[in-house]
Amino acid sequence: CLSVFADQRLKHVITVGASGKHSVCVCIYHQNVKLMLSEIGLYDDRHLLMDKVVCFVYNKDCMMSRCSNCPGTENLKLYLEDLISEERESVTSVTYKQWDHTDGNKLETILAERDDYIEKLVVLVNKLTTHHFVARNQSAYFVHSK
């Protein structure tokens, strides 16, 4: 019975959608991008990076499949290459953490060549745009339907 479950809930456990609490996606898609960005000094700039791939982060066509005006992944790749070159001229490799869920959920430390790091980040941000659009719209729908 749900009321028994609610009665047993510890006081410090916050329920999903509790008044005054934010809905934040902590999925592997968002977290792996955030972990990679933090290694190059960008904290929570995933929205900025999605802007490098799409025209408008609130447009379904842009976020789900890219409209004809979207800049695409090459724009993001060039941006990251310039950013890393400016920040760390002598960087040849980057160490970062990633959540892996193939053998259970675990946080792995990865050492990658600079170009491989950029390529992986570009792929993850490109995938994140679709997921982010869906997650944001689902959250808005649930808030609106209450």
Domain map (residue ranges) of the chain: 26-145
DSSP code for 70: -
DSSP-based three-state secondary structure for 47: helix
Burial class (CB in 10 A: 0-12, 13-18, 19+), 129: buried
DSSP code for 124: H
8 Å CB contact between 62 and 54: yes
pLDDT at 92: 87
pLDDT at 1: 47
8 Å CB contact between 82 and 38: no
> How far apart are the C-alpha atoms of 92 and 98, rounded to whole Å?
19
Contacts 24+ apart (CB under 8 A), 131-140: 131/27, 131/29, 131/30, 132/25, 132/29, 132/30, 132/46, 132/50, 132/57, 132/63, 133/57, 133/60, 133/63, 133/64, 135/25, 135/27, 139/23, 139/25
What average pLDDT values come out for the chain (146 residues) when binned by 10 residues?
Answer: 58 56 70 90 77 92 91 94 78 89 79 95 93 86 76
| Joined tokens for residue 36 | 């990679």
pLDDT at 42: 85
| 84 to 39, 75, 114: CA distances (angstroms) | 10, 14, 9
As separate numbers, helices (DSSP H) first and strands (DSSP E) second, the chain gives 6, 2
pTM, rounded to two decimals: 0.76
Tokens 């760390």 found at:
88
